[in-house]
Amino acid sequence: MFKQILVGVDGSDDSIKAAQLAGDLARQLGSHVIAVAAFDPIPDYLGEPFWEEAAAARLGKAQEILEQATEAIGEVPGGVETEMIEGRPADAILDVAENRKVDLIVMGARGNHALSGLLLGSQSHKVLNKAPCPVLIAR
């Protein structure tokens, strides 16, 4: 039924719970998990070398969050994949869900302001309203 599970993560407690839940479901169902972290675009007006510094910081934080999520998911039969996407969190989640034809989206109820506000009320609301598949909210 749920062969591909997408989990949106931002490092918040709720998103880590969502990653754990996605892992538990994947182990029970033999599913593949895709963990997605989004980060705000870096303004062009920063210029060099500030742009490079900002990009490295945002990419580093997103990578750290994906590593935490992968650990929380654990080993699953279908494997775990990660995607780091520049853009608004809801848009990133919806794009991956549609392009990868996922069967279920798992998200935390509340997000973390530190990384683009992933999974805040407005973001989760947008995903709930526009998702091409069922959405499971973890708290």
Specify the pTM.
0.88
Closest CA to 25 of 80, 67, 65, 62: 80
End-to-end CA distance of the chain: give it in Å, rounded: 23
What is the band of 116 on the pLDDT scale with cuts at 50, 70, 90?
Answer: very low
Q: What is the pLDDT of residues 74-97, one digit of tens each?
A: 999 999 999 999 999 999 999 999
Nearest-angstrom CA–CA distance, 15 and 2: 19
Nearest-angstrom CA–CA distance, 102 and 119: 18
Rounded average pLDDT over 21-33:
98
Domains of the chain by start residue, with CATH: 4-81+92-138 (3.40.50.620)
Question: What percentage of the chain reaches a pLDDT higher than 90?
Answer: 68
Q: Which strand ranges, in their side-by-side order, compose the sheet holding 4-8?
A: 80-86, 32-39, 4-8, 104-108, 135-138
Q: What is the pLDDT of residues 101-115, one digit of tens each?
A: 999 999 988 766 444
Q: Which residue has the tokens 């599970």?
A: 5
| Cβ atoms 22, 77 nearer than 8 A | no
Helices (H), 40-103: 50-73, 89-99
